[in-house]
Structure 1
């Protein structure tokens, strides 16, 4: 009974504000105006039943898909990764930190060496991918008439005022979605999605991605995605 009441409340809350489709359209329009950005990316995943330590990563991103990542805190501090669509045979150039920093490798994004302790390939990084994942799942649930969508209270995320949206998918359709529940933070000013927490059907945290110090005015150049950049160690 409590679950049914919660579902009813979620649907009422959704109807009192913008519809899920309107909300998605607004977020997609906001991201459509983004050409490049820098940020501190916070990433935490549950892999093989174990919740791994949070990773803290400086990222540079430029459309259509150029990505530089440098891990700035343990457990992988000093590691770097570079991926530019169409460059290097569409392979990633990467090295670990510490004593492994002198060993640079060129790997397919789904190479087992990269997928260890990861749920997704590195090509699934960025605020655009976050939005795409949310949109695919929500629209699938809308089409199936089984979406529970509600807007919660405001919440501060790394100094940014955000609106919190709670999305719940039916357990009987578990295989059709990327999780049971999404808790999404949308920047109140930019309308971009800057954090998502995904829970499984045991209500365990599975994925937690957030973007801190998001700079949409970053003037990124070719040198920012060049392994010969003197600030990099490839």
Structure 2
């Protein structure tokens, strides 16, 4: 295991145990191996990942592989070319395979993407030749019924930062309720890159306080971004709610406004 080759079990037992916030703040300075941090305190790893994404990740492009259960039915695997910028938050998605209602979607956290009713909206190029011929571009509320019918999350909840923030949100809620079961389960690989794997178990019921019963998150060992997330309705992992995988990731490529044109 990376970072553990020169440590015995006794060495691990003697490592000081610090609160998660302290570990997250001091991990880099103290040069604690990330594999050790992940094993001893996965919550600290998550918070360190949040700090690093907020501090270092300005933008990125990737191929996003998404499969979700919507209205009780598991949809096909979608392949999407994505671009993301953190300031202002800007998202562009271009469906390459299995587009549903939209072929392209663009959203930015700017006044241009707010309608007269004060709702956040996205600009959309419809899927299908006939639809595009009739309506080359439309706008839709990002939290409207069309958006909810197409995805479990809204487009402003997309990206590495939002994923980590949601992870932390429900971790904190579960911790307050005494229901958090968070585990480091070893190492994995996503798109050929090594990852740390963290799993979470919650008392899930449809429509309840928690979004899933089991969540598996892969953190890229170099970047500490969540490159794969698998959400299940059962602890055994037999009923998939959502699968979200990033491949061909390129960080800090210098995306401009032109990269977010529809």
Matches within 5 A, 1:2-17: 17=39
Superposition RMSD on alpha carbons, in Å?
Answer: 2.5
Determine helix, strand or coil for the equivalent of 2:170: helix
1:134 aligns with 2:164: no
* TM-score, length of structure 1 as denominator length: 0.82
Deviations 1:55-87 (A, max 9, x none): 111111111311111011234598111111122
Determine helix, strand or coil for the equivalent of 1:130: helix
2:50 to 28, 51, 57: 28
In structure 1, what is the equivalent of residue 255 of structure 2? 220
Matches within 5 A, 1:66-77: 66-76=90-100
In structure 2, what is the equivalent of residue 180 of structure 1? 213
Determine helix, strand or coil for the equivalent of 1:156: strand
* TM-score, length of structure 2 as denominator length: 0.74
Give the Cα separation in 1 of the matches to 2:108 and 2:38: 43
In structure 2, what is the equivalent of residue 37 of structure 1? 60
| More contact order relative to length (CA 8 Å, sep ≥ 6) | 1
Larger radius of gyration: 2
Gap regions ≥5 residues in structure 2? 1-35, 115-119
Measured after TM superposition, the shift of residue 173 of structure 1 is: 11
Counterparts in 2 of 1:146 and 1:79: CA distance versus 1, 3 Å: same
2:124 to 94, 98, 107: 94
Give the Cα separation in 2 of the matches to 1:29 and 1:113: 34
In structure 2, what is the equivalent of residue 157 of structure 1? 190
1:111 aligns with 2:144: yes
Give the Cα separation in 2 of the matches to 1:16 and 1:194: 16
Determine helix, strand or coil for the equivalent of 1:177: coil
